[in-house]
Each structure stands twice: as C-alpha cells, then as structure tokens.
Structure 1
C-alpha cells in the first residue's frame, strides 16, 4: 500500500480521532499487527487478538513487546484475555476491527462476535469496524451481510450507531461498497 502511494494508517488515524493516546485499545482480528503496531507507536495501550497463529507470529516478530492473544473472536471474553495475562480491566476504551474482520469470521457467528466485542467495551466506548459490502471490496464472491444486518447485531449488543464513513479517512458514506462504522456502547 505504502509503495503504491496509498495512506496506510487511516485505521490508526480514525482511532486517534475517537480516543486519546494512552487509551486501551483492542485490535480484534489483528492479523499481522499493522494497525496495533501503529497505535502502539502513537502511545496507545494495545492488545492484539487473532485466531491465526501464523499471522500472530508475524505480529510478534514486528512488535515482540506487545501483547498478542490467539483466540477466536466468537469465544473472546474477559476471561480469555485474563487467562492470557491481558484482561480488559474495566473495559477497553476502543475496539477496532479493520480489514474485513466481521465478514470473514465463521458464517453464522457474526452477531456473537459483535456481542463479544461490545461486552469488552467501557460504557460510551466505540467499536469501529471497516468492511466491504460487495465482491469488489471483499475476498469473497458476495457479501455475507449488509449494513442493516450489521446495525441490527450492534443494536442487540447494546451499541448505537454514532458515525459512518466510506473510508477510514472519514469520507462521508453515501452508499457504496465499503463502510467504516462507529458504534458506541450505550
């Protein structure tokens, strides 16, 4: 992305617009840790979680000082994080799910994943998720769900839509194949 002249830290910028440095952030579905590493560089207290051991190995190589937890987001809760030595205390100040995390979880677990992530937030804290809504923006032939369904899962988990963008850089959302949604815990 950077080699192509694209801005590679839009996710971290969006997180930084929502919570100040020092905030506790959970990078859900962190993959190789690109977003978590950048947030750490900016002064955030970050915990990265991913189910893929190979991805986490890359993340650990990139930032061995950061806490990386191997867990399925559908099973993630405070006890899982505490068992790994990285409990959320009284909750995270922000949970970020970048890189099509929600559409790529096991089909049928999406609502449970949203509920699990919401439960780890402090009251008023945001869940920020960016994902594709069509084949052009997903590594899938079709989108497994739309924004209305995602918003329903969020509402059922006690989250309220606060903002929605077309990009991590904050372009207004007016429909289209990609959305970044900010829902806050009530």
Structure 2
C-alpha cells in the first residue's frame, strides 16, 4: 500500500478537488506546475502526468496545447479528472508497475511531470523502481520534472526521500540533473524543504 492510500483511504478525490477549487476561488495561482513545464518544453510536446490526481496540472497543460496522458492509482481521483475532462486520456495504474504497452500508450514522452509530492507518498522501497519506469517512458533528451517536500513542514507524512537519494535513483535510470528550483515558479534552490528537480534522459 502506498503512503497516499494510508493517508486517504483512496477515497479523497472529491475532497481534494474541492480544496483546490476553493484555493483557486480565493485568487491563488493554481498553475505554477503547468507554467514551468511549458517553459521547459514547447507546446505540442507529449506529456505524461505521473500521479495526475484530479487532473489539475494536466488539464491546464492540455489547454496550453500539450498532448497529455494522465496516470494515477487512485480511482476516486481519476473519477474527478474524467468528469472534468472526459476528452483526455486518463489511465489507472500503479507507477511502481507502470507498463505503457499494457495501457496501449506509446513510451516516447517529451516530458514526465510528477507534482503533488508523488515520491514521498509512494509505497516505501518503490522509489527507485518508479524513477526507472518513468525514465523508460521518455524519449532521448526528454525531461522528468518532479517537485516534492523534503521535511515535515512541506509534507503530510514524515519525509522518506532525500535529494541525494532521488538523484542517485535518477542516475541509475539514465537521467542527468539539468536544473533544480525551490518552487514551481523556478526560484533558485539554495537548500530548504521543497525542491523541483529537472532530470534529462540520455
């Protein structure tokens, strides 16, 4: 079981969507992740939203002209995503066993985005395998972009993965660190409890 399922029971889709809708209604900018992805890759690129949840990031990327596929293991989250954007491709799968061929998805993505603390919320011990499987979906030169909390202040669960560990998993999967930011607004990273890492496939 993933730490996400331990936290939510796998039934949180509606609540999660409502929370972000309330934030958007309050005037908070909800599209930093999509904006950073758009700055890294031109419109028309193929994007895999790994751990897409209710689809907030992917729906915005699709609006900006990207060819998107969303994958998540939480059926309650995907139900919201499918209702909000039934025209987009949403697939239920565990990232630790992700097989694009099984989902009939071509594994030639230009960019994989993992927003929303995906890595700290994985089942413990699956982090390296998830990185390997996501890297395998990228074309040469493609990017894996992952943002996650590194301390208790930035996570709903105790921290489990450090940046050196994550970088080591990426290196083992054939990815090289290209950039690292402190926020999805691309503020420089100088240490701290949250990081957005950009790794490039060889």
In the TM superposition, what is the alpha-carbon distance from 1:78 to its structure 2 partner?
A: 2.2
Structure 2 equivalent of residue 177 of structure 1:
193
Detail structure 1 runs of 4+ shifted over 4 Å in the superposition: none
* Greater percentage in helix: 2
| Structure 2 unaligned residues grouped into runs of 5+ | 1-22
Following superposition, the deviation at residue 63 of structure 1 comes to 0.2
**Residue aligning to 2:44:** 22
Equivalent-residue separation in structure 2 for 1:162 and 1:58 (angstroms): 33
Within the candidate set 122, 133, 152, 1:135 is matched to 152
TM-score of the superposition, structure 2-length normalised? 0.87
Q: How far has the Cα of 1:4 moved from its partner?
A: 3.8
Partners of 1:103 and 1:46 in 2: how far apart?
Answer: 24
Aligned to 2:31: 9
C-alpha displacement of 1:146 = 0.5
In 1, Cα distance between equivalents of 2:47 and 2:181: 20
Q: CA RMSD in A?
A: 0.9
Aligned 1:1-186 pairs, distance under 5 A = 1-82=23-104, 87-88=105-106, 91-140=108-157, 142-186=158-202
Size of the aligned set, in residue pairs, is 180
Instruction: Give the whole-Å Cα distance in 1 for the aligned partners of 2:27 and 2:190.
Output: 25
